[in-house]
Amino acid sequence: MQVEDRVRELIEEKIADREDLFIVSIRFLKNGVLEILLDGDEGIAIEDCVKVSRHVGFHLEEENTIETAYRLEVSSPGIDSPLLLKRQYYKNIGRMVKIQTIDGLKREGKLLSVSEELVQIEEKVKEKGKKAIDVMTEIPFDQIKETKVLISFK
């Protein structure tokens, strides 16, 4: 069993009673860092990260799952982290996003809706000499290279 698989089992065990929490990613990096990113439909509290960290750390040590020295890091994705799961898209409906498509185009707009196949954004389009208008744009998931939530300080 891979380390990441055992870690996933341990996390799922710990958050089983919390339907609002979910795993974004688990990576065992070459530098010895075991990175766990968790999120929640309404965000995630530091206390939740601490509980998962203690649970996972305790069991990994108890079972001697990892033979070498490692550092366990449990956190939520950073504010500048790309969205990796559809569930993250759903929780960001209504926010401004920047989407880079696989063909290199960059689109910015308000995330209006998410379905199994695509996202719909409202972007401002300005034609030369005309006032900007709001245009609904649908972007299939298979065309999305990366999506980031834009942070506004207004």
Q: What is the pTM of this model?
A: 0.84
Domains with residue ranges and CATH for the chain: 3-75 (3.30.300.20), 86-149 (2.30.30.100)
> 126 pLDDT exceeds 90?
no
What's the alpha-carbon Rg for the chain, to the nearest Å?
19
Quote the pLDDT of residue 79: 83
Residues 36-68 pLDDT 10s = 999 999 999 999 999 999 999 999 999 998 888
In whole angstroms, what is the distance from residue 69 CA to residue 58 CA? 14
SS (H, E, C) 95-152: CEEEEEECCCCEEEEEEEEECCCEEEEEEEECCCCCCCEEEEEEEEHHHEEEEEECCC
Residues 77-93 pLDDT 10s = 988 899 999 999 999 99
